[in-house]
């Protein structure tokens, strides 16, 4: 039987793009909590007001498609701070083994006993002073991975030279005020309240920012207090995490808590488009939530959402009516069903405004930090600011509020890298992972990457420095997000890890369940898959809201197979596109990811071997034939050139089949 050998030439992805200077840069690593893409510059919400984050965007690289390793705080932060995927950390949900002892999550029995962190390597190998303020490594009311018993900051082990923790959000004065006013506002397990502006100074994020400002001022005057080293300052913000008890000045003017006002002022935008008459609600398909209704009622996706059940509008309002006078009149001529819809949308609208207010509030704290940097240009001009959120957040899309789902709203997060040594605005659409942060920090600091004891590479991510130099540089690596329900064993799919695979254009979700045997059985051998597949589009221009699930269409089997190959245990896990293995049959298939287009050149197929022929077929992801031809080889072989610039961006498949060959020798095909 004849064989083809197919080889793909991959462009190198690890070229250093920054000139090394005598002094290492300082780092400020800002981590929001539960922040989605509702930021200026991301266009996630038209009424977002985050001018200070936008200041960073205008001077740095904004990554439009950055993804967390998991849609909850603990697994996401554990993964990004350790540089290891959840498959290695084994932390898939918020049930941390021990908050105060980060390394207890890594032990021989789990096969992950070797662990390093970003601050640890910067401190020990890069000679950095590392400082953690508030919630960074998930825990926020104690000291994770901090050698508190050693009074010498310059000689401390573990991750941090210094650490400052602040009381949990529920200890804030605004919480006491909000409960005194009403704790029934908002939606299920997600309360909000506009608190007096005078309370802002007592809020955790305000105090954390004060601490960071004090550090910058003291560092400028007395660097010897910090071991005369460059610094890595990690500043964790608790907002926009709930409860959303936010100073009133940050709210849009439309919020209306008096559902019985006459006339009733509807707080959401009734007529789509500016000028707005209220807050703009998250987009919905027609009919509303039909994308959610199309998913299996007893499936894993529904089970994950039901962990935060706020999608039944009538029940939502009925619960509120227990404490009120019944259904408001609103206006004459409306039916009870119409009035219930307006009321439940009003409650949602107030929650959406509370979330926007929370973003504006945390943006104001970042503005105070930036002002402190500007006051110390000697620091600012040698500082790299990296801003992320630990994961995304849903506000009613697919009936879902909060996090823990595998959809785009929960796994996609902001990522902005601003290097004030050479500030320039860039926007990258490349699909990147938070696993890439660890090697990026090391690259920028000129610090070697850690290795396992056997000398093999430790990090699972790849440095983003090529994209900081050229945001459109080649970068074709799908990223993985994972989640396992850890709260309720009676929830469908709780036995298994659920996965998301996101590439430049497609989003594949694979759930695993025991189906009808649930919950009595948790049997890996009998696990069955449920799937979702969405064509987001390379520019988020096809199905950005994930309303059209294509998973059951057999024409997209190629896409699912391709993306599945990047899951843990599969051949492409954590890899870029790579050399294809030689086929053992007389037909070989090569996957071609054309993105963006027009491409920079022509695809050349070079055939080497004895006299004979080879049949070449190019197909799109649906199996449609784009080109089909037969190449006749002479003694020197043959070459066929096909211009890819005429193809839309997307995934294609090059099939190569050998024809007759009198000598029986194999033909080599090099792409």
| Reduced 3-state DSSP string for 232-285 | EEEEECCCCCCCEEEEHHHCCCCCCCCCCCCCCCCCECCCCCCCCCCECCCCCC
DSSP letter at 656? E
- Asked whether 251 and 151 are in contact (CB, 8 A), the reply is no
What is the DSSP code (8-state) at residue 100?
Answer: S
- The order of strands in the sheet holding 479-483 is 479-483, 498-502, 506-513, 528-535
pLDDT digits (tens, 9 = 90+) for 488-503: 666 677 889 999 999 9
Q: How confident is the model at residue 660 (pLDDT cuts 50, 70, 90)?
A: very low
Distance between CA atoms of 392 and 405, rounded to whole angstroms?
A: 10
Q: Residue 422 corresponds to which tokens in the numbers above?
A: 């050479």
CA distance 131 to 232: 6
pTM of the predicted protein model: 0.84
Whether the ω angle into residue 467 lies within 30 degrees of 0, i.e. cis, is no
Q: In the beta sheet, which residues pair with residue 26?
A: 383
Whether the Cβ atoms of residue 417 and residue 60 lie closer than 8 Å to each other: yes
Is residue 590 within 8 A of residue 654, CB to CB? The reply is: yes
Task: Give the residue from 410, 415, 424 showing the smallest Cα distance to 59.
Answer: 424
Q: In this model, does residue 594 exceed pLDDT 80?
A: no
Q: pLDDT digit string (tens) for 2-13? A: 333 333 322 223
Distance CA 39, CA 389 (A): 11
Residue 449, both tokens: 């990457």
What pLDDT, on a 0 to 100 scale, did the predictor assign at position 272?
Answer: 76
Q: What is the mean pLDDT of residues 26-35?
A: 98
pLDDT for residue 665: 42
For the segment 602-647, what is each residue's pLDDT rounded down to a tens digit? 555 554 444 566 677 777 766 677 777 777 766 556 666 767 667 7
Residue 515's SS3 state is: helix
More confident residue, 664 or 31: 31
Confidence band, pLDDT 50/70/90 cuts, at residue 654: confident
Longest dimension (CA), the chain: 92
Q: Write the CA distances from 335 to 327, 329, 332, 339, 465, integer angstroms.
A: 11, 10, 9, 6, 59
Contact 180, 250 (CB under 8 A): no
Alpha-carbon gap, residue 321 to 327, rounded angstroms? 7
Average confidence (pLDDT) over 52-61: 98
Confidence bin at 664 (pLDDT 50/70/90): very low
1 has pLDDT over 50: no
Distance, CA of 550 to CA of 531 (rounded, Å): 9
Q: Residue 306: CB partners within 8 Å, gap ≥ 6?
A: 491
What number of H helices and E strands is found in the chain?
15, 24
Question: Average pLDDT for residues 237-266, to the nearest whole number?
Answer: 91
Confidence of residue 211 (pLDDT cuts 50, 70, 90): very high
| Reduced 3-state DSSP string for 341-392 | HHHHHHHHHHHHHHHHHHHHHHHHHHHHHHHHHHCCHHHHCCEEEEEEECCC
Residue with tokens 């590439």: 503
Check whether 169 has a pLDDT greater than 90. Answer: no
Residues 6+ apart with CB under 8 A from 9: 671
CA–CA gap between residue 318 and residue 259 (Å, rounded): 13
Residue 335's pLDDT band (cuts 50, 70, 90): confident
- Which of 286-290, 351-355, 547-551, 593-597 has the lowest average pLDDT? 593-597
Which of 267-271, 287-291, 373-377 is predicted most confidently? 373-377
Predicted confidence at residue 191, as pLDDT, reads: 84
| pLDDT given for residue 15 in this prediction | 32
- Please state whether 592 falls in left (phi above 0), alpha (psi between -120 and 50) or beta: beta
310-329: pLDDT as tens digits: 544 434 444 445 445 677 88
| Mean pLDDT of all residues in 54-76 | 97
**Radius of gyration, alpha carbons of the chain:** 27
The fraction of the chain above a pLDDT of 90, given in percent, is 56
- Are the beta carbons of 146 and 158 closer than 8 angstroms? yes
Q: What is the pLDDT of residue 495?
A: 82
| 185 contacts 257 by C-beta, under 8 angstroms | yes
Element (H, E) at 511: strand 506-513
Q: Considering the chain, what is the average pLDDT of its residues?
A: 83
d(CA 570, CA 87): 12
How many Cβ atoms sit within 10 Å of the Cβ of residue 261? Answer: 11
Residue range 89-117: average pLDDT?
A: 84
Percentage of the residues of the chain whose pLDDT score is greater than 70:
78
Residue 596 has pLDDT above 70, yes or no: no
| Closest to 193 (Cα-Cα) out of 104, 203, 539 | 203
Whether 653 contacts 591, CB under 8 Å: yes
For the cut 60, the answer to whether the pLDDT of residue 71 exceeds it is yes
Q: For residue range 386-443, what is the model confidence (pLDDT) as tens digits?
A: 999 999 999 999 988 889 999 999 999 999 999 999 999 999 999 999 999 999 999 9
pLDDT of 86 > 70? The answer is yes
How far is residue 305 CA from its own chain's centroid? 18
Please report the pLDDT score of residue 527 as a whole number.
80
For residues 58 and 597, the model is more confident at 58
Average of per-residue pLDDT across 100-104: 78
Mean pLDDT of 194-217: 96
**Residue 263, preceding bond cis, omega within 30 degrees?**
yes
Is it the case that residue 514 has pLDDT exceeding 50?
Answer: yes
Note the residue count of the chain.
Answer: 671
pLDDT confidence band for 100 (50 / 70 / 90): low
The string of pLDDT tens digits covering residues 577-592 is 653 333 333 345 555 6
Under a CB-based contact definition with an 8 Å cutoff, are residues 372 and 217 in contact?
Answer: yes
Residues 6+ apart with CB under 8 A from 228: none
Sign of CA dihedral 167, 171, 177, 183: positive
Phi, psi of 266 (to 5 degrees): -65, 125
């Amino acid at each position: 039987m004849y064989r083809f050998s197919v080889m793909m030439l991959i462009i190198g992805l690890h070229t250093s793009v920054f000139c090394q200077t005598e002094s290492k840069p300082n780092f400020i690593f800002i981590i929001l909590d539960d922040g989605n893409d509702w930021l200026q510059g991301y266009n996630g919400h038209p009424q977002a007001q985050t001018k200070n984050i936008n200041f960073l965007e205008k001077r740095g690289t904004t990554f439009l498609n950055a993804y967390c390793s998991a849609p909850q705080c603990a697994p996401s932060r554990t993964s990004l701070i350790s540089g290891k995927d959840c498959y290695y950390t084994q932390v898939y949900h918020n049930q941390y083994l021990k908050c105060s002892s980060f390394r207890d999550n890594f032990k021989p029995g789990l096969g992950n006993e070797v662990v390093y962190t970003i601050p640890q390597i910067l401190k020990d190998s890069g000679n950095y002073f590392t400082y953690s303020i508030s919630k960074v490594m998930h825990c926020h009311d104690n000291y994770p991975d901090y050698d508190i018993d050693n009074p010498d900051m310059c000689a401390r082990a573990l991750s941090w030279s210094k650490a400052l923790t602040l009381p949990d959000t529920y200890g804030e004065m605004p919480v006491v005020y909000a409960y005194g006013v009403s704790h029934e506002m908002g939606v299920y397990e997600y309360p909000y309240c506009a608190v007096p502006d005078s309370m802002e100074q007592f809020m955790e994020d305000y105090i954390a920012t004060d601490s960071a400002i004090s550090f910058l001022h003291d560092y400028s005057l007395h660097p010897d207090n910090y071991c005369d080293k460059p610094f890595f300052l990690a500043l964790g913000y608790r907002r926009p995490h709930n409860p959303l008890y936010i100073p009133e000045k940050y709210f849009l003017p439309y919020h209306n808590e008096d559902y019985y006002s006459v006339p009733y002022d509807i707080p959401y935008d009734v007529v789509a488009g500016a000028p707005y008459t209220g807050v703009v609600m998250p987009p919905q398909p027609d009919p509303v939530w039909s994308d959610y209704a199309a998913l299996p009622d007893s499936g894993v996706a529904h089970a994950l959402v039901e962990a935060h059940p706020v999608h039944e509008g009538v029940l939502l309002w009925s619960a509120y009516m227990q404490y009120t006078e019944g259904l408001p009149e609103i206006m004459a001529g409306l039916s009870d069903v119409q009035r219930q819809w307006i009321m439940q949308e009003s409650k949602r609208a107030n929650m959406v405004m509370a979330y926007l207010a929370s973003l504006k509030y945390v943006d104001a704290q970042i503005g105070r930090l930036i002002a402190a940097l500007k006051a110390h240009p000697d620091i600012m001009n040698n500082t790299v600011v990296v801003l992320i959120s630990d994961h995304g957040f849903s506000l009613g899309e697919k009936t879902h509020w909060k996090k823990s789902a595998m959809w785009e709203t929960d796994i996609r997060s902001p990522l902005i890298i601003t290097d004030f040594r050479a500030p320039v605005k860039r926007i990258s659409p490349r699909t990147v992972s938070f696993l890439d942060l660890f090697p990026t920090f090391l690259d920028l600091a000129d610090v070697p990457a850690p290795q396992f004891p056997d000398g093999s590479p430790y990090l699972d991510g790849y440095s983003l420095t090529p994209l900081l130099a050229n945001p459109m540089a080649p970068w074709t690596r799908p990223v993985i997000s994972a989640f396992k329900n850890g709260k309720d064993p009676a929830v469908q799919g709780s036995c298994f890890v659920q996965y998301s695979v996101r590439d430049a254009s497609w989003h594949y979700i694979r759930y695993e369940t025991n189906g009808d045997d649930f919950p009595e059985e948790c049997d890996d051998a009998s696990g069955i898959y449920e799937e979702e597949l969405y064509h987001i589009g390379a520019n988020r221009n096809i199905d950005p809201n994930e309303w059209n699930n294509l998973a059951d269409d057999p024409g997209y089997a190629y896409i699912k197979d391709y993306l599945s190959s990047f899951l843990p245990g599969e051949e492409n896990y954590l890899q870029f596109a790579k050399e294809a293995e030689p086929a053992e049959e007389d037909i070989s298939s090569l996957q071609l990811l054309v993105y963006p287009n027009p491409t920079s050149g022509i695809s050349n197929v070079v055939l080497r071997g004895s006299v004979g022929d080879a049949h070449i077929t190019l197909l799109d992801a649906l199996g449609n034939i784009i080109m089909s031809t037969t190449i006749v080889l002479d003694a020197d072989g043959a070459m066929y050139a096909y211009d890819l610039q005429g193809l839309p961006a997307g995934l294609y498949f090059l099939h190569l089949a050998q024809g007759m060959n009198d000598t029986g020798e194999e033909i080599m095909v090099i792409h």
